[in-house]
Structure 1
Amino acid sequence: MPQGKPLLVALLALILILAAITAGVSLGAASIPLKTVWGVVADRLVPGSVIKDWSAGRESIVWDVRFPRVVLAALVGAGLAVVGAVLQVTTRNPLADPHLLGVSSGGACGAIFALLHTGMVFGLITVPLFAFLGALAATLAVIGVTRFSGSSAERLILSGVAVAFVATALSNLLIYLGDPRAVQSVVFWMLGGLGLAQWPHLLYPALVLAGSLAWLALRAREINGLAMGDETAATLGLPVARLRAQLFTVTALLTGVMVAFSGAIGFIGLMVPHVVRLFAGSDHGRVIPLSAAVGAIALVLADLAARTIMAPEDMPVGVITGFAGGLGFILLISRRPAA
């Protein structure tokens, strides 16, 4: 990539993210002018910097309802897309993503267990912690089943589907055994949604995403070596087993935290990295940050569609990503050469 071009791409990605966020905040069951949207934001960040010519109701819609929801959508979309990009390299399977490999289902199971059976024993971090543990357990289960049954791309996907079914069954059992009065609240984790977004909660996914991206950026060359195959990576002096274990842990952490705040949202991690590789190539120094940017834009727009298609009803965003991702998945496997 020529010198200066990465800066241009980063600037373009930032502009597109801001445009998607602006559209997500402005549009909905009640549209709000762009001037009002950014006027509210400016007044909140720098009180008294603009003349307030909007109602308190509109200010509440922008700042308390839509803006945290759209920011959460951007964080979750970025996180899931990064997880997909890394898993596809780590497993050397182009069909790998946190949903297909059961990682999202494991995270949702952990979140449901915390909500219905433990309570907030560790404060606000309780649900993210249990979601991470569930995602990590699902990841280890997929690896174990694949090694037991013979390593191959097809067996990995089948193992992931099996683990997803088991995790979903456990989630259903936890719901059945839980307090019936609290069951309605966990439907959110099963279908995927962003309606529970609040400003204080955004700190956790933001910090985990920033830390994970920074760590992965430092490991970009090692990830490129891993993409060439274990033997090639070993000849380059890479600790293959340790690196793969570290990558699985980071992806489980990212998935668990994102699932804790958004529920199980599928196919963002599958499709976005493939779209990015079409124009960014195979260098993960570019693929990973661009996947984060495109994933953020994709989920913000998907959530916008979920809020407007059946307005004023709020459709779970997992339904939108399921439809779009399912069609994309069919297109993807139809273009793969037969074995």
Structure 2
Amino acid sequence: MEPNSASLSHDSPLHREARDWLLLLTSGRATAADAQGFRSWVAQSVAHARAFAETRLMWERLGAAAANLAQRERAPAVAPRRMSRRAFLGGAVAATAAALLAAQPPFRLWPGISDMAADFRTATGEQRSVQVAPGVTVEMNTQTAFNLHKVDGKLAGIELLDGEIQLQLADGAGDFTVWAAKGSLRAKPGSQCNVRCLGGDVEVTALDGSVSVDYRGRSEALGAAQQASYGAREMTAPVPVDVDQAMAWRRRVLVFDNRPLSYVVAEINRYRPGRLVLTNDALGARMVRARFSLNQLADAATLIREAFGAHVTELPGGIVLLS
């Protein structure tokens, strides 16, 4: 008989195992074998899935806790609202474990289920090169996942689930398609392009050769050093772009040219374990011109404090509040 997860304490053996998995998945060092191990563990029973879902929900509330902490620092006389254990557990048990686990993880502190089940994925801070077919190379940036797309058993392209890639086609390769967020792009032999798919927004940059982008019945042809995007809004017309900046991550460098700090922090969070959280809108609006080596990102909070006079509060799990 399966244990009733509603009767398990949050210090039960299952919850302790769930926390161990959570720590591994947020470490930035999880491997494909770890992902398979997690899938096997969570599939053992509904109780296993619920234990992980409840542990995940506790982390999910960290965002609200961070905001409350920032408010208390600004107005210490105001007491934070507390949520009862009964209400928390009731909400956790009411939802199905499958729906909870399929949801996008808060703060991307661990990979989503779709990412872990992907044919290829990279962990936080990891970059790798994959040759998916003769003459077809996919360079994967941090926190990236994609599936191979086959038609009648033959590789037709890839489906980019999340993250960023650079696609390189040799002169002798055939046309190749990348599907991403309800749109697609087709690259010709000898082409090279960069594709970002973050939060359902897609940005396609043609680096060399010829690339066509299709979205909701509209098609745009991109030449070298041109970019188009689609997602929440209609597809944009091609615009000139700085190719050197688009390729910077391949040199393990991040380049920001007059970008708001909120954008810079969001980008840095893709590369380092844990999370930087801006709690001050005025601070987030400050403009930044900077060049970071990926090797510097562990000290990103210190660099922001020194550059902008930000107040830094460190929380467990690598969470850092910037105000």
TM-score between both structures, scaled by the size of structure 2: 0.22
More strand by percentage: 2
More helix by percentage: 1
TM-score between both structures, scaled by the size of structure 1: 0.22
Rg comparison, structure with higher value: 2
For CA contacts below 8 A with separation 6 or more, give which structure has more relative contact order: 1
